[in-house]
Structure 1
Amino acid sequence: MSSSTETHSDLARTAEALRNEFQRRMNTLRRQLDDDFKQATAASEQRVVDLAERLDQGEARVAGIVDAYDEMRRQTDGELRGARQAIARLTGEIHLIEGRLRLEHGVQPVDLDAVATELTKLVAQVRAVEQIRAGMLDERGRGKCEAVLTAYAELKRLGAQSRNRALDASGELARAKAGSRAFRTAAAAYRLHWGQFRSRERDLDREAPGYADADSALRRDAELREAFASQRGADAITDLTAHLRRKVDIAVETHALFPAWFTITELGHRPSATRSAQWRDVATQVVLYRITFRVTHAVLALGDPPAGRYQSERYTAIRAALRELDG
């Protein structure tokens, strides 16, 4: 019995010793793992910091390169622009000297404002159709007038709808028993729709003058468009433009002197080699404008800024086209 008890005690002590040894080793391993994890975390964080610094340095270098490139491009563009302007000035001065020499030898500038006898009828037709076109609505004006008519028609439709619904409610009132639920419902509907009808009638009265003006403007515009089409307006302008373009071409081909009002604009004395087609079109539009609107100013190619909407639009468009030649 005593031997059995001692054996049990020995086993218990051995088990306790093993547990303690296992716990000690586990604690040691846990501490090692914690230390390794902390070291790995610190190394990773340092690596991230190093990479971030390298990226920042790389971005700074790239930004510096981009800034240097932009500055170089700005300088180059400025130098090229200055060179083009200098070349244009020199070219203009050469043409001016050439023109003065030719004037001293009795050569007279070409009269671009003159209208040949065979073109008198065509010019009169173009002037007439341009007067018609000046009275026509532009797209924005037509859109505004059409919007007024559409809104007025919708108001009329809603007013008629409210009136019909009020009449229907009135019929229900006549058929329903006074004081009944149907009677009360019909009465409420009648008050609602009749009130809406009266309100929309007042709106129609208020909008009637605007509707009349918009309707009249659209009718007048339709008449003018029909007149423009019947007089071959577009064809007449195209024909006269072709004649004037040929006149400009002949002046360039024969090295004729252009008048002062022509040469002091962006057109200069001669077309450039790189924009000859654009120069030709703009020059033709300038001459067409002068002849169409009877501009005779000796210095201003397009004359003084006009007051009328349509002519002002033409004036602005040609001025923009002239500026593009200098771009």
Structure 2
Amino acid sequence: MFGAEIYIKAENLQKTGSFKVRGAFNKLMKVKTGKVIAASMGNHAQGVAFAASEVGIKAKIVMPLNASIAKQEATRGYGAEVVLHGETFSDALNYAISQKDYTFIHAFDDDDIITGQGTIGLEIINELQDIDAVLVPVGGGGLISGISIAIKNLSSETEVIGIQTVSALSAYESFHSKKIIETMPMPTLADGIAVGKIGSKTFAIMQRYVDDVIKVSEESIAMAVLLFLERKKLVVEGAGAVPLAALIEQKERFRGKRIVLVASGGNIDFALIDRIIHKGLVSSGRIGVFKVIVDDVPGGLHKITGIIAAQRGNILNIVHDRLYQDVPIGKTLVIFTVETKGQRHLEEIKDAVRVTGFSIL
């Protein structure tokens, strides 16, 4: 599909569903106190909860109010106490830090956490040679920091490229401005990397070892989640799908190269997955939505549905809007939702509709 040799580091299949368990274990094996606290959107929460239960430490996890319900319940399932606080990750983080009776376990800006995540880089290099680029999701920077240290010390010619969503750009802005910039994350499919401020330790490491940070659209993330499901039968959450989204958007940049995509997690909220899949289908043209003005008379709709059927389009839904502005009396706006083979097929259907004299808005 992309003219490249592509490998997937499937951390979505990791225990707790993401790479976070690596850093959590590395940190908690060194903790001397009997209870720890962490702030997380969900994956770090599960990693700390599981690691704490394994080493016999009490864990409290602070999550923002909008954290995925599935991730909240999974964290409780691993034995941790879950506290919901604040609207953003930063709110949850500040609250967790203020709890002085606990040992705080940072999600990314910690040497032991970074080292634990770096084992991914070691495993990549142990299994593959002559890698041109490793594409890594970036939120606070812990994952890419650990991976980049390992990769650059063992394979200096390999590019390490961070990927962020356009909805949370602190690492992207900071990397390119060469100073830490805090941003306000917007709603995103990639909630696992919706971090408003990159860490100070991770920023310094990225400046030294990371080659580039690029941003991808929410539409491409949805397409990537769908592509993982369809082509590889892998459930990958939005944050874990951003490397594939980058490949979708910058296909020519990686053509002919040997690429590793770090699929960082698979803890997708199944209450949202139908919407993500639908968004991916729309973004790829597999589902098309278009508006047509037709005569509001018996048989007016039949002609256009016949055109769509002749082009082998499958009509999923039809909505009439007679009150739409600028629609003359005697006409109606009809909104079609059509299943197609892809973007080219959708355009062929639209062209066939236009040729018969209908106007598509």
- Relative to the length of structure 2, the TM-score reads 0.20
More helix by share: 1
More strand by share: 2
- Relative to the length of structure 1, the TM-score reads 0.21
Tell which has more relative contact order, 1 or 2 (C-alpha 8 A, sep 6+). Answer: 1
Instruction: Look at both structures and tell me which one has the larger radius of gyration over its CA atoms.
Output: 1
